[in-house]
Amino acid sequence: MPATTVPPTPHYVPAPPTKEDLEWADLPIVDISKAKTPEGRGELAPIVRDAMHTHGFLYIVNHGYTQGQNDRIFDIADVAFSQVSDEEKKQHAGNIMETGLYSGYKLRQYWHIDNGVRDQIEHFNMHPHVYDRQEYPKSLRLFLPEIRAWTEHNHYNILHPILRLLALGMELPEETFVNIHNFNAPGETWARFMKYYPRSEEDEKNTKNVWLKGHTDFGTITILWSQPVTALQILSPDGKWRWVKHMDNALVVNIGDSMEMLSGGFYKGTIHRVVQPPQDQRGYPRLGTFYFALSDDDVKLVPYAESPVLQRVGIKRRCADEDAPTMEEMRKGRTRSYGQVALKKREDGNEEEFVSGIVVKHYN
């Protein structure tokens, strides 16, 4: 059979990894290939359970894509920014406030960061269905089969095994969370290409070097494909900000607020932020590829109280069950408000807002 050919694209060359001595977050590393067997899931479930209960973050390795396939996705991701004109980006910009969802481009300077400084972040969001939910810039259309394959890989080969391990960690049937994350059901799980551009020294000073304030994700699971520009920090259990270290061809996976609510507070939506990179990486853009998982739209975000684990340790609710939002309500509320509404200052200097019936905290 003839070899399969793929459309050519410029090769994206990221910054070299930092050589600075930073205080790194100590996160567990999970070999997800072991989750293919019942014995492997039995071995991994307590590791994932403890990591997501304590840290809310972990690394995934052996996820099924080679380094070459990973590099190819980053090449395609950069096409969305370097090969599309500003005018065409505007034509494909999402109406975030009206629809309550990210679809297409979020252009730079949409979010307010601090002291009048607006963001220098572009991202392009894609629904997993890829073909039937939105229009794509001309430069990206040739790559839709590869983007579709990548989103399916994220969903079935990475997300689903993680969801099974999380269910086993709560002593629930292992398909419990898989059954509410259906690829073709009404919902707004999305893949994202995202590019942070260097900022002026004045902007860095006015935001205290913070590019994206401390927050929790509002979905269930976030999958970040590791890239070498060091900028992500998590708020550790001891109250210190620590850096997340790049690992070649690894994934950084974290819990979102919706999974915290479904798990009755057992799994933690950990605060994280993006800051100016170390000195030896400044001046480089930061290109990222992500898969943000949300449950099906009609899922009400109430705890699985039947979990034997919750019956032993107790449930920590973000709101009363009768007031809990659906996934659709949570997603629309958080998407419309982020970076657009005035936040209430707390006594500790951080900020908060009230969205979809729950308090959302923002950390500087």
What is the reported pLDDT for 1?
37
CB 231 within 8 A of CB 286: yes
Q: Which residues pair with 106 in a beta bridge?
A: 123
In the DSSP assignment, the letter for residue 178 is: G
Q: Parse the chain into domains and list their residue ranges.
A: 29-332
What is the reported pLDDT for 2?
41
Could you read off the pLDDT of 253-308 as tens digits, one per residue? 999 999 999 999 999 999 999 999 999 999 999 999 999 999 999 999 999 999 99
Q: Average pLDDT over the chain, rounded to whole?
A: 90
Determine the Cα–Cα distance for residues 338 and 213; give it in Å rounded to an integer. 11
CATH classification of 29-332, choosing from 2.40.160.40, 2.60.120.330, 2.40.110.10, 3.30.70.260? 2.60.120.330
Determine the Cα–Cα distance for residues 120 and 109; give it in Å rounded to an integer. 6
Element containing residue 360 per DSSP (H, E) = strand 358-362
Segment 70-88 shows an average pLDDT of: 97
**Bridge-based pairing state of the strands 232-235 and 210-215:** unpaired
In single-letter form, the type of residue at position 85 comes to S
What is the reported pLDDT for 342?
54
Could you read off the pLDDT of 237-248 as tens digits, one per residue? 888 999 999 999
Determine the Cα–Cα distance for residues 298 and 236; give it in Å rounded to an integer. 33
In single-letter form, the type of residue at position 220 comes to T
**Bridge-based pairing state of the strands 29-31 and 57-61:** parallel
Q: Classify the phi-psi angles of 345: left when phi > 0, otherwise alpha if psi is within -120 to 50, otherwise beta.
A: beta
Determine the Cα–Cα distance for residues 11 and 3; give it in Å rounded to an integer. 21
Q: Is residue 194 very low, low, confident or very high in pLDDT (cuts 50, 70, 90)?
A: very high
**Bridge-based pairing state of the strands 286-293 and 232-235:** unpaired
Determine the Cα–Cα distance for residues 157 and 185; give it in Å rounded to an integer. 18
Burial class of residue 21 (count of CB atoms within 10 Å of its CB; 0-12, 13-18, 19+)? exposed
